[in-house]
Structure 1
């Protein structure tokens, strides 16, 4: 006589939440404002240096005429013209990280111009580098989880997956789960670490 196999995990009332389901797998591309800058040479004495289109480099090494500092500025007319020439479709369905990789004077409206051009194409637009974009998108997806399905349940937040899920994600999901669940555990049903139990 065959013995019926009982799924003890299913009968225990445990719900598993796998953070990898919310991990951003889309391509993340960088939109760097650096190529749109003009560089200003600032010297200690004498008149301001020339303004030159970035990048402008020299392989001659330092000299007595080298500027004390270089700071980038963004010119509205040139910036608008450059944005109008871009093929924005290359950002279709991508997560775009908007940043400036050099010291520069960036007016706040410049970020708005980039955003309104990207919005029809990009899946998401984030201020910062690629890692920042991945983290912010991840957190936004955790924030969008319908947490009510875990109300009064025992929840295991799955660990040891294939992806490198940062601690920030576990912190955020625990913060969201704690007010409504019976208990929170980390790991697997067969081996877990208790995190919280409602008293």
Structure 2
């Protein structure tokens, strides 16, 4: 009887598991709604005073979405002012809702990826994960590696869906 050889394990295929590079720290919302007068108007003096009273350490090691859930016109500087307080304590922040925060986190996480390690190699982007990866991340990974990779597949190395194959020159 011949020895069973795992050809996937010895191949040059590189597997990218987005779950491995995607941060899992808590995501929270900083809502400007409680700072509005009658949920309509932001009064600058009162807003600045209220921000100084907040214990910002509650946002330590968290990702923060800075938003306003009230149907009010809030000046851009108000969101930016909150960001100045979060800058030194939060892992990161985005002005927008939680979906926009996830896009920002995806972008930041994938920016650190060394795309040169995929040069002329077949790449599998792992499909299943226990952690919800935003669709944006899958599109972003393609834009980062397509110029480098020999081919790109989706799924598991033993069962993939082909997405891209570099043309032979």
Fold-level similarity (TM above 0.5): yes
SS in 2 for 1:104: coil
> Which entry has the higher C-alpha Rg, 1 or 2?
1
Query: In the alignment, what sits opposite 1:140?
Result: 108
Does residue 3 of structure 2 align to residue 18 of structure 1?
no
TM score, norm. by length of structure 2:
0.91
SS in 1 for 2:102: helix
User: Which of 142, 160, 163 is equivalent to 2:131?
Assistant: 163
Give CA deviations for 1:115-136 in whole Å, capped at 9, x if unaligned: 1111110000111122321232
> CA–CA distance in 2 between the matches of 1:167 and 1:86?
34
TM score, norm. by length of structure 1:
0.78
Query: In the alignment, what sits opposite 1:122?
Result: 90
Considering fraction of residues, name the structure with more helix: 2
Aligned length: 167
Where do 5+ consecutive residues of structure 2 fail to align? none
CA RMSD of aligned residues (A): 1.7
Where do 5+ consecutive residues of structure 1 fail to align? 40-53, 55-71
Give CA deviations for 1:74-107 in whole Å, capped at 9, x if unaligned: 1111011001111000100100100000122322
> CA–CA distance in 1 between the matches of 2:63 and 2:136?
19
Query: In the alignment, what sits opposite 1:82?
Result: 50
> CA–CA distance in 1 between the matches of 2:130 and 2:46?
45
Give CA deviations for 1:42-75 in whole Å, capped at 9, x if unaligned: xxxxxxxxxxxx5xxxxxxxxxxxxxxxxx1111
> CA–CA distance in 2 between the matches of 1:15 and 1:162?
20
How far residue 7 of structure 1 moved from its aligned partner, in angstroms, is 3.3
